[in-house]
C-alpha cells in the first residue's frame, strides 16, 4: 500500500494561531485527506515548538512559569485545529520526554563522533536583544535597532555543518524533487555557493535556560532549531528503543514531505539535511516551501498588522469549509497571493453559492417536486451535450490524484471546479425546470441524472477540501457515507432510484460588508 508522510512546521507557542499557521496546516490536511481517499496509508504530523528564546521571553513577559504557559498555549493550537477540522495523526510537542531524550541521544552521538566541537566565540553582543552581531551588521556602531553592543567571548558548541556542503549540493542536484518549487531550489543552491559555516548549537544557560540540556555540558541548552527540526524524525520513532520498525517504515522507506513557508526554508533545506547526514539517518523525500498570504497592499500578513477583520475570523463569516476552500483554491502552492475579506466572500459566493450550491438546489428541488425524490436513471444513449458532460467525468479522478501526488492541491481543486462550471452551463441550456413541463419527462430525467453524476463526483473529490459540506452534499443525493475513490472514477455511479432530499441551502450566499461600509 502506498504511504504518505506529511509534516507542517511545529509552530512557536508564544504566538496565537494565525493565518500563516492555518494555511500550512490546512494544505497538509487537504493532501493527507486526499491520500486517505486514494486508500494510501497516511501519517500527518503537526505540533508546537516550545523551547527557546522567544518562548522564554514570552513567559517572562507574562510572569509565568514556562511549562504551564506552554501547556496552555499548545492547547490553543489543538483547539483551532479541531475547529478547522484538521485530522492530524500526531500532535507533536517538543517538551514531551521522549523527544527530549531523542534529541539528547542525537547530541551525544554527534559529540562522540566529533561532529560537535567546542570553541570560544568572540563577537559583538547586544544584551537587550540577546543577539550576537558582526561588524558589518552594525549601523553607526549600534545594532540596526539602535542598541549598544559589547565585545563578548563565550565558549560555544558547533556542529560541523560545513563538512556536508558538497554532499548536500550533490543530493539536491541528483534529486530534482528534493527541494521544491524549482525557484526555491535554485535559491538554496545559490546560498550553497558561499562557504557553509559550522552551526552554533548551544546557548549558555546563564542567558537561556528554557531548552534541552546538552548531555555533555550541563551549563548549556540546545539551540532551538536543532531541537525542533528533529521532531520530524523522533515523531515517527527515531532514537526510541522499540520504535525502530516504525522509523524504518515512515522515515527511511516512505520519506517525509515537509511543508513550510519560504521564510524558514534554509533551516529545513540546509541545517536539517546536514544534521541527518551526520547522524546517518536518511533524508526526507521532499522539502516544499510555500508562499505567503499578503495584504492587499502586498505586505506579508501578520498578527501585528491587526487589520479590522483578522483572517481567521473569516471562518465565522463564511464557515470553516469555505475558508478551507479559499486557502486551497486561491494560492498555487509555492506562490504568494492576496488575502482580504472581500476576496474570500467574492470567491465563496461565485464558486460555492452560485456554482455548486445552485446546481445542487436546482437538481434536488426538481427531483423532489417532479420525480418523487428518486434519482432518475441515466439511460445508455444520451444527447451529445449530455455525453460531453459525462466525458468530463471520465479520467477526472485520476487527474485530481495526479495533481495531489504532484503537490498541487489548487490544481486538484480546479479540475473539479471546471466540471461544475460545465455542468452549470449545461443545466442552464437544458433548463430542466422547463423540460418538466413537457409531456415526455425523459429529457428532464436525463438532465437531472447527468447533473447528479457531476454532484456525486464533485462531492467525493472535494471531500478532502470541504469534509463537512461534502458529506452533507453526498447525503442529500443518497449516499449515507462518503463513497470510496473507486466510485469517483466511475462515469455512471449513481444508483438509479437513490433517495434525493431537498436540502437546506448547503452553500448559502454570504452577505458581508466591512465595518463602516
Ligand atoms: N517554530 C518554527 C518552525 C520550526 S519547524 C521545525 C517557526 N514557527 S512559526 O510559528 O513562526 O511558524 C510560522 C509558519 O507560518 C512558517 O511556515 C511561515 O512561513 C508561516 N507563515 C507566517 N505568516 C505567513 C503568511 N502571511 N502566509 C503564509 N504563511 C506564513 O517558524
- Looking from the CA of residue 9, the nearest atom of ligand 1 is 5
Give how far Cα 143 sits from Cα of 54, 133, 135, 140, 417, Å: 19, 8, 10, 8, 52
Residue-averaged pLDDT of the chain: 94
Q: 47 C-alpha to center of ligand 1: Å?
A: 12
Asked if residues 375 and 500 have their Cβ atoms less than 8 Å apart, the reply is yes
Average pLDDT estimate for 146-171: 95
Measured by CA distance, the residue closest to atom 23 of ligand 1 is: 20
**Please, which residues bridge with residue 150 across strands?**
125
Give the C-alpha separation, 234 to 101, whole Å.
10
* Buried/exposed 64-75: b ≥16 CB within 10 Å, e otherwise: eebeebbeebbe
Buried b (16+ CB within 10 A) or exposed e, 107-135: bebbbeeebbeeeebebbbbeeeebbbee
What residue spans of 336-375 are helical by DSSP H?
Answer: 341-347, 358-370
- pLDDT-wise least confident of 58-67, 306-315, 473-482, 483-492: 306-315
Three cell numbers written together for 310: 483578522
* CA-closest residue to ligand 1 atom 17: 261
| Nearest CA owner, ligand 1 atom 29 | 20
Chain position carrying cell 465595518: 515
Pocket-testing residue among 12, 21, 259, 300, ligand 1, by greatest number of atoms within 8 A of Cβ: 21
Handedness of CA 434, 500, 396, 471 (dihedral sign): positive
Spatial contact of 330 and 346, defined as CB atoms under 8 Å apart = no
Is 270 in contact with 168 (CB distance < 8 Å)?
Answer: yes
Q: pLDDT at residue 307 above 90?
A: no
DSSP of 11-62? EETTS---HHHHHHHHHHHHHHHHHHHHT-EEEEEEEEE--SHHHHHHHHHT
Q: How far apart are CA 433 and CA 186, in angstroms?
A: 56
Q: What backbone phi and psi angles, to 5 degrees, belong to 154?
A: -150, 140
Residue 464 alpha carbon to ligand 1 centre in Å: 23
Place of cell 443545466: 427
- The model's pLDDT over 214-242, given as tens digits with 9 standing for 90+, comes to 999 999 999 999 999 999 999 999 999 99
Non-local (6+) Cβ contacts of 325 within 8 A are 347, 348, 351, 352, 413, 462, 465, 466
93, 232, 264: residue to mutate for ligand 1 pocket, most atoms within 8 A of CB: 264
Residue 306: pLDDT over 70: no
Tell how far the Cα of 8 is from the centroid of ligand 1, in angstroms.
Answer: 9
Ligand 1 is surrounded, with C-beta below 6 A, by 9-12, 15, 19-21, 23-24, 49, 228-229, 260-261, 263-264, 292-293, 300-302
Question: Going by CA atoms, what residue is nearest to atom 7 of ligand 1?
Answer: 11
User: Chain-centre distance of CA 365, in angstroms?
Assistant: 37
Q: What is the pLDDT of residues 443-466, one digit of tens each?
A: 999 999 999 999 999 999 999 999
Instruction: Calculate how far, in angstroms, residue 402's C-alpha sits from the geometric centre of ligand 1.
Output: 27
CA of 293, closest atom in ligand 1:
27
Ligand 1 mean position to 146 CA, how many Å? 27
Q: Which tens digits make up the pLDDT trace of 4-60?
A: 999 999 999 988 888 889 999 999 999 999 999 999 999 999 999 999 888 888 888
In terms of Cα–Cα distance, which of 281, 244, 279 is closest to 109?
Answer: 279
User: Which residue has the least CA distance to atom 19 on ligand 1?
Assistant: 261
263 C-alpha to ligand 1 centroid (Å): 7
To test ligand 1's pocket by mutation, which of 99, 212, 261, 334 has the most ligand atoms within 8 angstroms of CB?
A: 261
| Helix (H) or strand (E) run with residue 385 in it | helix 384-393
Closest by CA to 261, choosing from 283, 284, 288, is 288
**What spacing in Å lies between the alpha carbon of 333 and ligand 1's midpoint?**
15
Q: Which three cell numbers stand for residue 207?
A: 542567558
What share of residues in the chain are helix, strand, coil (percent, to 5)? 50, 15, 35
Residue 288 to residue 169: CA distance in whole angstroms: 17
Please give the Cα distance from 187 to 204 (Å, whole number): 33
- What's the 197 CA to ligand 1 centre distance in angstroms? 24
* Ligand 1 mutation pick, 53, 90, 226, 260, max ligand atoms within 8 A of CB: 260
Atom 8 in ligand 1: which residue has the minimum CA distance?
11
- Using CA positions, which residue lies closest to atom 16 of ligand 1? 261
Distance CA 175, CA 168 (A): 11
DSSP state of 498: -
Residue of 11, 19, 70, 93 to test ligand 1 pocket, by largest number of atoms within 8 Å of CB: 11
**E-strand stretches of 134-222:** 150-159, 179-180, 199-200, 202-204, 213-214, 217-222
CA of 171 to the centre of ligand 1 (A): 26
Report whether the peptide linkage leading into residue 181 is cis, meaning its omega lies within 30 degrees of zero.
yes
* pTM exceeds 0.75, yes or no: yes
Instruction: Kindly give the distance from the C-alpha atom of residue 15 to the centroid of ligand 1, in angstroms, as a whole number.
Output: 10
Q: How many A from CA of 467 to the centre of ligand 1?
A: 25
pLDDT tens by residue, 352-404? 999 999 999 999 999 999 999 999 999 999 999 999 999 999 999 999 999 99
Predicted local distance difference test score (pLDDT) of residue 310: 73
| Confidence band of 191 (pLDDT split at 50, 70, 90) | very high
Q: Which three three-digit cell numbers place residue 91?
A: 500532535
Q: How far apart are CA 455 and CA 420, in angstroms?
A: 8
- Cα separation of 475 and 481, whole Å? 7
CA 262 / ligand 1 centre spacing (Å): 9
Atom of ligand 1 nearest to the CA of 15: 10
Amino acid at each position: 500500500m502506498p504511504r504518505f508522510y506529511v509534516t507542517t512546521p511545529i509552530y512557536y507557542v508564544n504566538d496565537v494561531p494565525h493565518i500563516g499557521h492555518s494555511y500550512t496546516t490546512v494544505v497538509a490536511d487537504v493532501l493527507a485527506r486526499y491520500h486517505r481517499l486514494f486508500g494510501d496509508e497516511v501519517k500527518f504530523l503537526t505540533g508546537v515548538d516550545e523551547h527557546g528564546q522567544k518562548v522564554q521571553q514570552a513567559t517572562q513577559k507574562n510572569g509565568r512559569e514556562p511549562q504551564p504557559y506552554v501547556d496552555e498555549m499548545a492547547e490553543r493550537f489543538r483547539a483551532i485545529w479541531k475547529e478547522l477540522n484538521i485530522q492530524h495523526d500526531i500532535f507533536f510537542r517538543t517538551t514531551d520526554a521522549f523527544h527530549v531524550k531523542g534529541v539528547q541521544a542525537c547530541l551525544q552521538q554527534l559529540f562522540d563522533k566529533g561532529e560537535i566541537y567546542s570553541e570560544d566565540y568572540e563577537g559583538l553582543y547586544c544584551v537587550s536583544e540577546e543577539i550576537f552581531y558582526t561588524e558589518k551588521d552594525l549601523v553607526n556602531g549600534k545594532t540596526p535597532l539602535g542598541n549598544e553592543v559589547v565585545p563578548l567571548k563565550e565558549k560555544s558548541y558547533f556542529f560541523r555543518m560545513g563538512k556536508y556542503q558538497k554532499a548536500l549540493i550533490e543530493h539536491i542536484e541528483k534529486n530534482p524533487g528534493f527541494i521544491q518549487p524549482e525557484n526555491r531550489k535554485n535559491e538554496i543552491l545559490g546560498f550553497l555557493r558561499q562557504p557553509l559555516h559550522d552551526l552554533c548549537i548551544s546557548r549558555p544557560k546563564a542567558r537561556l535556560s528554557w531548552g534541552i540540556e546538552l548531555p555533555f555540558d550541563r551549563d548549556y541548552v540546545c539551540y532551538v532549531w536543532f531541537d525542533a527540526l528533529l521532531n520530524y524524525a523522533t515523531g515517527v520513532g527515531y532514537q526510541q528503543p522499540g520504535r525502530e520498525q516504525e522509523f524504518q517504515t515512515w522515515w527511511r522507506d516512505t520519506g517525509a514531505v515537509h511543508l513550510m513557508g519560504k521564510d524558514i526554508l534554509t533551516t529545513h533545506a540546509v541545517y536539517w539535511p546536514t544534521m541527518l547526514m551526520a547522524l546517518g539517518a536518511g533524508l526526507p523525500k521532499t522539502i516544499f516551501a510555500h508562499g505567503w498570504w499578503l495584504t492587499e497592499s502586498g505586505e506579508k500578513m501578520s498578527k501585528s498588522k491587526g487589520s479590522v477583520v483578522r483572517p481567521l475570523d473569516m471562518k465565522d463569516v463564511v464557515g470553516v469549509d469555505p475558508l478551507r476552500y479559499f486557502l486551497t483554491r486561491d494560492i498555487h502552492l509555492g506562490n504568494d497571493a492576496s488575502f482580504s475579506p472581500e476576496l474570500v466572500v467574492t470567491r465563496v459566493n461565485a464558486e460555492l453559492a452560485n456554482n455548486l450550491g445552485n446546481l445542487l438546489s436546482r437538481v434536488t428541488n426538481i427531483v423532489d417536486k417532479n420525480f418523487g425524490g428518486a434519482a432518475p436513471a441515466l439511460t445508455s444513449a444520451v444527447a451529445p451535450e449530455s455525453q460531453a458532460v459525462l466525458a468530463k467525468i471520465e479520467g477526472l479522478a485520476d487527474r485530481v490524484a495526479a495533481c495531489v501526488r504532484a503537490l498541487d492541491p489548487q490544481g486538484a481543486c480546479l479540475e473539479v471546479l471546471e466540471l461544475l462550471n460545465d455542468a452549470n452551463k449545461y443545466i442552464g441550456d437544458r433548463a430542466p425546470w422547463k423540460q418538466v413541463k413537457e409531456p415526455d419527462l425523459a429529457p428532464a430525467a436525463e438532465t437531472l441524472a447527468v447533473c447528479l453524476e457531476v454532484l456525486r463526483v464533485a462531492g467525493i473529490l472535494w471531500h478532502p477540501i470541504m469534509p463537512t459540506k461534502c458529506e452533507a452534499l453526498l447525503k442529500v443525493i443518497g449516499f449515507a457515507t462518503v463513497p470510496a475513490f473507486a466510485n469517483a472514477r466511475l462515469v455512471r455511479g449513481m444508483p438509479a432510484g437513490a433517495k434525493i432530499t431537498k436540502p437546506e441551502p448547503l452553500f448559502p450566499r454570504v452577505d458581508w460588508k466591512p465595518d463602516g461600509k
